Structures are given as C-alpha cells and as structure tokens.
Structure 1
C-alpha cells in the first residue's frame, strides 16, 4: 500500500509546515485496528460468552462468582499498570494483557462439557491478573494515539471491534443452538472456537506500534510514557484517584458498568438458549450503531464542547433511567411468575427489548467515559494513570456486581433495583464535572489540548 502524504496544519497562519509523510502501518487508523482486533479477541469474546448469560452455562451462580474474582484481581493489576508500563512499555503491557483470556474460556469449556468447576475459578484468576493490565493499556492507547480532532470516532471504531466479538459469538451460538427453545446451556463447541480466537489475540498485540513510531496526520507526536519510579508512580496514581474530579465520577462509572452482570444474569434467568444467543447477536449490532453515533457527535467540533458534552450526558442518562424503570417492572413480575421466554412466546418482545437497549446503554457509557477522561487529563502521564484508575474503578464495581449476582435473590430482582438507585445517585456528582467542560471561555477541547502540548514543550525546552 502506498504511503499517504498529508499537509500538517499551519502554525500561526504564516509559516507553512512541510507535508507529513504518513505510512499506513504507522497511522492512527492502523493502530486503532490492531487495538480493535486485540479487543475483539480478548474482552470482545469474553463479552460474547457472558452476553449469553452466565458464560453460556445453565446456572449463573458459579460463573458470576468467577467473574467477581476476575474483577477483584483486575483492581490490583489496573492500579499497577502505569508502573508496569515504565518497564515494558505500552505495547508490552497490551501483549501481557491478552494472555489470561484463553484460560478463562478453557474453564468454561470444561465446566460445560464435563462439569469441572475448579478451572472456572482458576481461569477467572488468570484472566483477572492479565485483563486489568489489558484494560488500562488499551484505554491509554485509545485516548492518546488519535489526534484530538478524531478521538471520538477512533474510540468508537476501536470499541466496535469489541462488540464485533460479541456479534460473532452470538452468530456462532445462534447457529449452533437455533433449535434449542428451552432453558439450558450452550453447545461446548462454541468454547473451542473462542479459545482459538482468544489465543490469536496475543500474537496480534505484537503488531501495535510504539508511541514514538505512530504518525499522526497533523504531525504531532504521541506522548505516552512514564518517567517516575514504580513506588512514586503508585503514590501519584493514588493521589490522582483522590482528586475532586475523579471522585465525582466514581458513582457515574459504577452505574454504567454495574449493569453488565445485571443484564447478563437477566438474560440467563429468563430466556431460552436460542433466545440468549439471539440477544448476544442483536444487542452487539445495536450497541455498535449507538456507540459510533455518539463518537460522531463528540467529534462535531463546529459545535462547542460545552454543548456536545452536556447534550450527550443528558441523552445517555435520560435513556438509562427509562431502561432501568422498564427492567425493574419486568423483574418484579418475573420473580413472581418465573417465565422462560422463547422468541415464539407472548411477551417476548417486552422482555427481550430492554436487554438489547441496556447493552447499548453500556456501550454509550463506555464511550462517554473515555471522552471524560480525555477532558480531565492534563498530561500524557496523567492519561495513563487516569486510564488505569478508570478501568480499576470499573473492575471494583463489576466485582461487587458479579459477586452480588451470585446470590439468587439479587440475581433475580435485587440487581436492577441496586443499579436503578446507582443511576439516580450518580446524576448530580457527574454533572458537577460535565458542566465545566468548555466553560473556560468556551474553549474547544482542541484548543485546550494545544495549550497543554505547548506547555509541555516549553517545559522540555527550559529543562534542556
């Protein structure tokens, strides 16, 4: 493929810069694709299995316990990621982060086929140790590699690959289980396919460019490096967590990610095997569409940052509230009537529709969380720390969620009630952060980013 030559933006309107030679294998799009393929193979297929409800198992309780362990360990590994990046780099961190997903799937395979339970827990532990590193690394890459002007679309593009994993997994499951209109577990053949695909993600991670090798179309360098020693980095990361802006979004992060265990358990409890597979497939498609529309909106820089951020927040949270009300009504009734819905049954649309929409809401919250981190970050180093803290906080909430959803009464009705309450409690604190975006003279995020880069360059020059 030929190299792409694009003109760099002019500085001050007077001096014309030389054209920037962008090689396709160094471009932001190439790296977003590699990151996306890794996300497809690792968390994407993890999500595909769990979108079937309980990892495809008949009962959700063992798998929810394993997932709770995964997310507990991810809290620790996320917190340590910025220190790990100092020694092995961001690409090395991504590679290490892909390793633990295949053992997780192997545990589900043995449990599904032979009833073996211990590897579900051991596989979940392996997954938790590596996945925390993966989550933090991929978030830092997704925020730092793209030009600020295209960040929203690139984040949406990358996350599309994660949902493609779910879509493909759902399609495979639907094909293998289309005749199974009763409750039960999915075919064990599914797990063999997933294990092979997840193993390939480790090799794909090696194709990611180091930050210094990435070529942006605007000619600006990617800065993603850690300078401090590990202990200092851990202390600085902890201090970043305790900042006002981050603490204010902790509940908002929680209401977004707590939902995963809730709607996956809902899918496992109240639907037939083939309906669960259909849910995995369709919800992924709808989530991709919604996520990319949000990314497109966030990149409309002719509209002020203030307007974009406030309207996105208002739409996402209004929809989330409506969907939680819908689910709360459903589970309150189903707890009493104990139905199992197949797509030929009366009431299937009402039961099924809210699952698809909640998966889409999860995607919207994910996309918007990266936007928030990009706005509150003040330096490349802080981007890595905030990315690690975001994913660590998500892991903590999901550990609580999966742990509680291993309890039958919480799985049946308590989960939606708790999540609905979290949604309400998160509105005001999150708004206190969102309302300040673009309020500083109504600057755009591009202008703010340029100021930060200019300040970093001046610091570098003064230190030399």
Structure 2
C-alpha cells in the first residue's frame, strides 16, 4: 500500500461565497490544467505543427515522434494507475519535466545533426506525456459539474490551444525574414523551453480530486489514493469493457491525421514563415471549434443523451465536408510532383484555399476530440474511473499516432494517407452514436 500524503476527509461543507475564484473550485482547477497544457503540450503542438519539428529534414522528427507515441501508448494506460496512486500534481510534474528535455534535443540537432538524442528524448517524452494526459483527462472529465462538462472541456481546450497560437507566433516572428528553405533558429527552441519549464512548476498547484469542492459543497470523489494491486486489476478490466472498446476507432484516428496535416500539407505547401502563421491560425481554429461544440454538448437540448447524438451528427457532417475539401486540394499535387512553396504575402489567391483548408483541419480536430472527451465524461462521474477511461483513450490514440508517423516516414503517398484518415474518422461516428445511446444516462436517471 502506498502512503497517502493527503489523508484527510473530503470537504463536504458548502464553500463560502466569494468574489474571487476559489483555488479548490472545479473551474479554477480546469483553468490551471489548461495553463499547464498551454505551456507544455501546447508548445509541443506548435513545434510539431511546423512540420519536421522545425527542421528542414523531417527524418529526426518523424523517428523521435514514433518513439514518443510508442512509449505514450503504453504509459497512458499505466499513467491512470500512477495518477490514482501519486495524485495529480506529482504525476503532472513528472510528465511536464520531459517536455523541456525533448525540445532541447532539437536545439542540439540544429548544431550536430545526430538524431539519437532526439529519438531517446522522444521516448522519454512519451512516458511523461502519458502521465500528463492521464491526469488531465481525469481532471477535465470528473471535476466539473455534470451539466457543465462540455463547457469546462471547451474552456480547457481554449486555454490549451492558446499555447499553440502563442507557440506558432514564436517561429513566425523569429523566422519572419527567412523565406528560404531552412530549419528554425536556436531562439525558437529556447523560447519553447522557457514556457515548458513554467508549465512544470505550475503543475505543482493542481489539487487532488478529494480536495476539490463544487459550488453545491460536494467533492469530486471520496477516493484518497489507490494501490498498485487494485490499479493493475482495473487496468486489465478496461480491455474487456464494451464502453471503452467502442472508443477505440475514435481514439486511434484522433491523432492519426497529424503527420498528414503537419508534414504533407503545411510543410509541403508553405514556406517557413508562412508555416508559422498557419500554426497560429490552426490552433486558433481549435479554440473556436472547442467553444462551438462545448455549447452544443451542454445547452442545445435538455436531455444529455440527445445533446450527445446531436454533437456526433454535427461533427460527422462537418468532418465529411472538410475531408472532402482536403481531397479536392490533394488531387493538385503528389509526393512525386511537389508544388512551389506558398508565401502569405507573395502568393495572392493561390494561398487562400490551402490556408482555409488547414484552418478547417484545426477546427475539426478540436470539435472531434472535445466530443470524445464529453462522451468519456458522460460515462461516469468519479475521478478514479474516468482517469482510467481517459488513460486508455490516450494510449490507443498514441499507438495510432506512432503508426501514422512511420507511415509518413516510409513515404506512403499523400492521397493514401488522406483516404485512410477520412475513413478512420468516419468509422468512429456510428460507434460513438451507439455508446451515447446505450452508455450515457440523462441527468437524474
């Protein structure tokens, strides 16, 4: 049995009204985890969105990301158990610390061009990211009140993706006058590392679920800390849980499209400074998408199950339109016939359509993942259970991403990658529909 650092009874008295945001309120904790993810995975997203980790040659980045997501796929599932044993703040701190190491490996790669350190740092980051996202999933799905989970998820997603926006501005500003084919400069990586270090420190302010008090006086869970044997059994049970298994296609596909979008659209079609601008807009679109789907999931209809079905239909229709637009764009070029790089200042109308498509990819990504997190949050209310569900989701998601980065590294045709991405996301919608209809209860049931 692991010792319990927070061995006190959960707080059940109604908190006193205050004009200030309580640190132990669900909203404050969701905002705080949003800021932590703004600094760490948000900045990593901006770095990856540059294509090739900001490097002209994508090999080191693709191989490091394969190592990252392979380790991530395992650590995400085990991360839920570690979260339930250590608590969120220690789990998050351990996870956040690995982001700085990974970014430093590309700083060194700028000078020595040896990918071994980048690959090893990627594997370590995979372990750390599994810890971070297991804790994050438990917080955003279990801390909010039942009728506000969609809104709280959208608040988190907005803050988190602001990291991608700011992170996209960093290479855009620092590399503005470098329109030629080149890797990003050292200052870009140093700026990312500063943000990531701040995120690691802020993670220590996250509270365990038993200390978080909702406005009605209830705590998020009565669990204090779990133990190794219990978590081992519960993790194994996930592989036989029909609710969790229905999430597999959505989880696998939800990061599978990143290599195609980042490397084969953004990096292939646009020059260095324009890729930075595109990143700003891609992650900005995610903020818009998360707010939009959050409204649908919380306020569109009275019954929760109906809101879930409507959300799936909205995302499915929008996804079909956007991937159809991607197909129309992809027929114009191939890996054997690369187009001239587009620049936002000099390419005129030729820049507009690919830019709009890339913006729409960001919009869809946020709506799709926010929808899935809402579904996970609607399956239970307890932090202990939802941390396992979220960890399993991230594990499968990361396994898909590991495969996807190697698919891109092995020069699979752009068109084939697009079709596979479109098919995978489309398969997930009817399964999510079944999960909502059979697995989600309306409030009061």
TM-score (norm 2): 0.90
Alpha-carbon separation, structure 2, partners of 1:158 and 1:213: 20
Corresponding residue pairs, total = 426
Matched with 2:79 is 81
Asked whether the 8 Å contact 2:81–2:388 carries over to 1, the reply is: no
Alpha-carbon separation, structure 1, partners of 2:381 and 2:26: 21
Alpha-carbon separation, structure 2, partners of 1:62 and 1:293: 36
Secondary structure of 1:158's match? helix
Alpha-carbon separation, structure 1, partners of 2:78 and 2:13: 40
- Per-residue Cα deviation, 1:289-333 (whole angstroms, up to 9, x for no partner): 110121122221752223211111111111112222222332232
Note closer, same or farther for the CA distance 1:240–1:22 as it changes in structure 2 (3 Å cut): farther
Matched with 1:377 is 380
Asked whether the 8 Å contact 1:58–1:268 carries over to 2, the reply is: no
Greater Cα offset, 205-214 or 121-130: 205-214
| CA apart distance, 1:280 | 0.5
| CA apart distance, 1:81 | 1.8
- Per-residue Cα deviation, 1:125-173 (whole angstroms, up to 9, x for no partner): 1211111011111110111111122221111111212211110011122
Matched with 1:297 is 296
Asked whether the 8 Å contact 1:103–1:123 carries over to 2, the reply is: yes
Match runs of 1:33-48 below 5 Å: 33-48=31-46
Alpha-carbon separation, structure 2, partners of 1:431 and 1:388: 21
Note closer, same or farther for the CA distance 1:325–1:272 as it changes in structure 2 (3 Å cut): same
Match runs of 1:49-60 below 5 Å: 49-60=47-58
Runs of 4+ off more than 4 Å: none
Greater Cα offset, 128-137 or 208-217: 208-217
Secondary structure of 1:299's match? helix
Matched with 1:270 is 269
| CA apart distance, 1:203 | 0.8
Alpha-carbon separation, structure 2, partners of 1:143 and 1:213: 16
| CA apart distance, 1:429 | 2.4
Q: CA RMSD in A?
A: 2.1
Asked whether the 8 Å contact 1:40–1:163 carries over to 2, the reply is: yes
Asked whether the 8 Å contact 1:52–1:280 carries over to 2, the reply is: yes
Matched with 2:88 is 90
1:160 has 2:155 as partner? no
Alpha-carbon separation, structure 1, partners of 2:428 and 2:215: 38
Asked whether the 8 Å contact 1:44–1:161 carries over to 2, the reply is: no
Q: Which structure 1 segments of 5+ residues have no match?
A: 1-16, 449-464
| CA apart distance, 1:347 | 2.2
Note closer, same or farther for the CA distance 1:429–1:212 as it changes in structure 2 (3 Å cut): closer
Q: Which structure 2 segments of 5+ residues have no match?
A: 1-11
- Per-residue Cα deviation, 1:227-258 (whole angstroms, up to 9, x for no partner): 65424422322222322222122112222221
Match runs of 1:444-463 below 5 Å: 444=443, 447-448=444-445
Higher-RCO chain (CA-CA 8 Å, sequence separation at least 6):
2
Asked whether the 8 Å contact 2:38–2:161 carries over to 1, the reply is: yes
Asked whether the 8 Å contact 1:89–1:225 carries over to 2, the reply is: no
Asked whether the 8 Å contact 1:75–1:392 carries over to 2, the reply is: yes
Matched with 1:7 is none
Alpha-carbon separation, structure 1, partners of 2:318 and 2:266: 20
1:170 has 2:173 as partner? no
Considering only CA atoms, is the larger Rg found in Structure 1 or Structure 2?
1
| CA apart distance, 1:379 | 4.2
Secondary structure of 2:438's match? coil
| Aligned equivalent of 2:422, options 420, 423, 430 | 420
Alpha-carbon separation, structure 1, partners of 2:34 and 2:426: 33
1:20 has 2:15 as partner? yes
